[in-house]
Amino acid sequence: MSSLTASLNQHLCALRLHWRRHRAFPAMEELAAVLGVKSKGGVHKTLGRLVDEGLLERVGSRYAPTEAFFALPLVGPARAGLPQPADAGQAPEALSVENFLVDHPDQTVYCRVKGDSMMDAGLLDGDIVVVDQSTQAKAGDIVVAVVDHEITVKRLRSNGSPETWILEPANAAFKPIHPKGSLEILGVVTGSFRRFRR
């Protein structure tokens, strides 16, 4: 995707906002109002340019968003220490958060973290973890597991033999969990995200 003109980017933003609210594009007659153009010809021209940019695709007589439609500009890097000059030399790359975090969409679920037993691993109360159910868990992985009929997120550790697992917290205030009966690994945590402000 090349750098968009200001007007085309404005049209893209209007379409994204409509999609977020309705999960669909309106009928062609209503698109003129959404895009802020005066004619059906202007609508077709705008949509055609978005197709050329790889943001939309034609599906029969209708238009549908591509993966790139949902990608947002990735600026930076932004140093967490002393500030650095901004890189104004080139257009930022586009990033889709779901594409970045999810490798197997048909076998991935999200799980909300509750409590602070994993805070030293960077997982805080209220965070959402990405759980890949297609990945074979191994020692050292952070997993979501059902242990003795209760769900938890912990680091998987071997207790001497591959068949004997313990679930280790990432907070010294908590003790490891030694399953007394059943242990089912729901999936491996491959990422996480949180929202700071709504």
Domain spans of the chain? 1-97, 105-193
Q: Which amino acid is present at 3? A: S
What percent of the chain is modeled with pLDDT above 70?
93
117 is catalytic: yes
Candidate list 3, 114, 117, 134, residue with the active-site label:
117
Indicate if the pLDDT at residue 188 is higher than 90.
yes
192 is catalytic: no
Q: Cβ–Cβ contacts within 10 Å for residue 42, how many? A: 15
**81 vs 148, higher pLDDT:** 148
- In this prediction the pTM is 0.75
Indicate if the pLDDT at residue 160 is higher than 90.
no
What mean pLDDT do residues 13-32 have? Answer: 89
DSSP string, 85-97: ----SSPPEEE-H
CB 139 within 8 A of CB 158: yes
1-97 architecture in CATH?
Orthogonal Bundle (1.10)
Q: Which fold has domain 105-193?
A: Umud Fragment, subunit A (2.10.109)
What mean pLDDT do residues 162-188 have? Answer: 91
Candidate list 154, 180, 182, 192, residue with the active-site label:
154
98 pLDDT band (50/70/90 cuts)?
A: confident
